[in-house]
Amino acid sequence: MNPDLAQERRRATFDPEQVTSLLYRGPENVRKRRYLQNAAIQDQVLRGSKPWAFQSRIEQYETALQMYIYMMNKLDEMGVTDPLERMYYQEAGAPHYYNPMALHTGMFIPSIEKQGTKEQKERWLPMARSLQLIGTYAQTEMGHGTFIRGLETTATYDPSSQEFVLNSPTVTSMKFWPGGLGKTSNCCLVMAQLITHGKKRGIHLFFVQIRDLKTHRHMPGVESGDIGPKFGFNSNDNGYLKLSNVRIPRENMLMRYSKVLEDGTYVPPTNQRIGYGTMVFVRAHIVTNSARGLSKACVIAIRYSAVRRQTEVSPGGPEAQIIDYQTQQYKLFPLLATAYAMYFTGRYAEDYYEQIASEIEAGNLESLNQLHAVCAGLKAFSTWACTAGIETCRLCCGGHGYSHASGIPKLYTYYTPGCTYEGENNVMMLQVARFLMKIYPDIKRGGPIHEFVQYLGADLTQKSCMTEEVALGCLLKAFQHRAARLLSDAAARIENLVRSGKSRQEAWDASTVALTWAAKAYCHTFVVRTFSQIVSDAAVDKSTKDVLTALCKLYAIDGIIENLGEFIEDGFFSPHQVSFLKNKLADLLAEIRPNAVALVDAFDYPDKTLDSCLGRYDGQVYPALYEYAKNSPFNEQEVLDSYHKFIKPAQTEQSQRAPMARL
């Protein structure tokens, strides 16, 4: 054990186990999580042969497939059915590979469960669970990802044969990007424009078999393939798909909420957007997923910062641990606080999703819009925080952060597409703004509105209650004030533009930056509120609560300092109050410092899950880096063939022109 890390753990003032329990919803869940992680770590088959970064793309794909199929069988043998528990096992078993079947379990099966009729579920789910059917969610096209009403793929109903005929009429209508579509899947859910009786009925989901279930060759009229190497996700065969007069039976349209009868009569759903449900489900889960990404980067960067020493503090004296530099703390501790904030908010989003989804199942769609706004906003807010935070963690590791040995570049390329997939983040923020503007008249009137948004109608002339003590309640009020004011500003801007003669749509289009500011401020407030509520309700001892409260305050104060203009432009905070906040920020960095390592230990990631030479629990960073380097295929031969092919002839040629000087 590295002595600095051992010392860090000794000096912690709280019990990390209590925090681990709080993060993973109780000691029983922690026990199960550890059991599954250990089972995966000890499994010889999952040990792997060489580091993923030294493998070709095809090798990465094959290793990922082999491991995931092995793990699915193991999980079935162990009787583990809960998706979260399965994820814990897989995360520890194959952390470096993006599963080519992720869309099968993450979107294909859930879409059938949520959008299929009873008969469709009975028909497809058993085959999907036993991998006879391997599916994906094929929505995005080369020409359209965001504007899904503009999708071009058509599904035209033919009443004479009671079939839909699917077509990709243009190059841009080709499905493009779906995970596992290229080579792995034999079927998919295709989002297509439904046409019955010659009329367009909007986009709907259709089950389409794309490959023969025995030979895996393409079905007639189907062309598909891999889209090529990407920034990350290279063990996944994100694919393209072109459909030419592909016929599927009427029963293959997912008909839980809308129907096409035998004669082609269209029965619409109660709400057209109910068919977007799988996206809402995944967005709700992306929040915790972002917390996972950012927390892993924090574990790596904070442990490494405790081990790494750089620069003599006094001449001839010992070099300081880099974690002792205030600037390093300022970069890392707010991110640590953010990771906690996102874990707690993710938990909230998942619970809220389950609550509203069951109301929807029971036929009550009243909260659908609000659920959409919350999930879209938190998905965007959390993925932005995660991506930017991972990059800061990488920079905090200096040169070694740039190596795949650190594990951080992999985290970055794995998590950054979260800002784009499941709804590009700016577009998602505009959906939040649309929701807020829609209820704005009710907010102003003081009409009946959800508690999430009540504060948005507060008196904007009020000033901050902040004192030198910096209470959490005052911090939350500051966020609420900023969100209310930015919303009011955006609304006023739109009204002014309308008064000046613009149409409402033109006024909206000319205000999307202001609307995005308002939506982000709303999401930020949501996170601060959730974090502070969970901390104040947490059943933990006083020392643990103190540490969590410090983290929560740091999250809030850092959010204010980073967006200071928005908090002071209307004079809400006085300059005096801003200086309280700046002083408190510095105090909190010092207060968190002795607990930083214990706070990252509390995330409870086994080394294998982190896959990082820098983030090892034992802190043996330097021998691990050396071992990793030795594994490079470059080092398999003392002299590479390329020396004889290129360097030697070049040297010979050069030396003939200018004879070599004696060394």
Ligand X SMILES: CCCCCCCCCC/C=C\CCCCC/C=C/C(=O)SCCNC(=O)CCNC(=O)[C@H](O)C(C)(C)COP(=O)(O)OP(=O)(O)OC[C@H]1O[C@@H](n2cnc3c(N)ncnc32)[C@H](O)[C@@H]1OP(=O)(O)O
Among 43, 62, 113, 424, binds ligand FAD (CB under 6 A): 424
End-to-end CA distance of the chain: 45
Among 53, 427, 458, 540, binds ligand X (CB under 6 A): 427
Task: Tell whether residue 146 is a contact of ligand X (CB under 6 A).
Answer: yes
How many residues contact ligand X, by CB under 6 A?
Answer: 31
> Taking CB within 5 to 8 Å according to partner kind, which of ligand X, ligand FAD, none is near residue 426?
ligand FAD
Task: Tell whether residue 137 is a contact of ligand FAD (CB under 6 A).
Answer: yes
Among 95, 116, 178, 407, binds ligand FAD (CB under 6 A): 178
Q: Are 437 and 514 in contact (CB under 8 A)?
A: no
Q: Are 242 and 168 in contact (CB under 8 A)?
A: yes
Among 277, 417, 457, 619, binds ligand FAD (CB under 6 A): 417
- For residues 289 and 416, give the distance between their C-alpha atoms in angstroms, rounded to a whole number: 12
Burial class for 232, CB neighbours closer than 10 Å (0-12, 13-18, 19+): middle
Determine if residue 179 is labeled as part of a ligand binding site: yes
73-92 residues in contact with ligand X (CB under 6 A) are 83-84
Among 256, 285, 303, 379, binds ligand X (CB under 6 A): 285
Annotated catalytic, 422?
Answer: yes
Of the two residues 271 and 637, which places its CB atom closer to ligand X in the complex? 271
138-167 residues in contact with ligand FAD (CB under 6 A) are 138-140, 144-146
Task: Tell whether residue 179 is a contact of ligand FAD (CB under 6 A).
Answer: yes
Rounded least distance, CB 203 to ligand X, Å: 8
Rounded least distance, CB 258 to ligand FAD, Å: 20
Give the DSSP letter string of 474-531: HHHHHHHHHHHHHHHHHHHHHHHHHHTT--HHHHHHTTHHHHHHHHHHHHHHHHHHHH
Task: Tell whether residue 377 is a contact of ligand FAD (CB under 6 A).
Answer: no
Of the two residues 162 and 420, which places its CB atom closer to ligand FAD in the complex? 420
Question: In which element (H, E) is residue 396 found?
Answer: helix 368-396
- For residues 89 and 553, give the distance between their C-alpha atoms in angstroms, rounded to a whole number: 34
For the CA atoms of 597, 601, 605, 607, what is the dihedral angle to 10 degrees?
60
Q: Are 97 and 127 in contact (CB under 8 A)?
A: no
Of 141, 422, 566, 591, catalytic = 422
Query: In which residue are the tokens 């909230």 written?
Result: 348
176-205 residues in contact with ligand X (CB under 6 A) are 179
Q: Are 136 and 188 in contact (CB under 8 A)?
A: yes
- For residues 498 and 480, give the distance between their C-alpha atoms in angstroms, rounded to a whole number: 27
Site track for ligand FAD across 232-261, x = CB under 6 A: -x----x-----------------------
Q: Are 33 and 604 in contact (CB under 8 A)?
A: yes
Q: Please count the other Cβ atoms lying within 10 Å of the Cβ belonging to residue 256.
A: 20
- For residues 617 and 551, give the distance between their C-alpha atoms in angstroms, rounded to a whole number: 22
Among 84, 87, 388, 427, binds ligand FAD (CB under 6 A): 427
The dihedral through the CA atoms of 416, 293, 593, 541 has a sign that is: positive
Which residue ranges are tagged as binding site for FAD?
140, 179
Contact footprint for ligand FAD (CB under 6 A): 103, 137-140, 144-146, 177-179, 233, 238, 417, 420-421, 423-424, 426-427, 430
- Residues annotated as part of the active site: 422
Which residue ranges are tagged as binding site?
140, 179
Contact footprint for ligand X (CB under 6 A): 83-84, 102, 106, 137, 139-140, 146-149, 179, 273, 276, 279-280, 282, 285-286, 289, 368-369, 372, 421-423, 427, 431, 434-435, 438
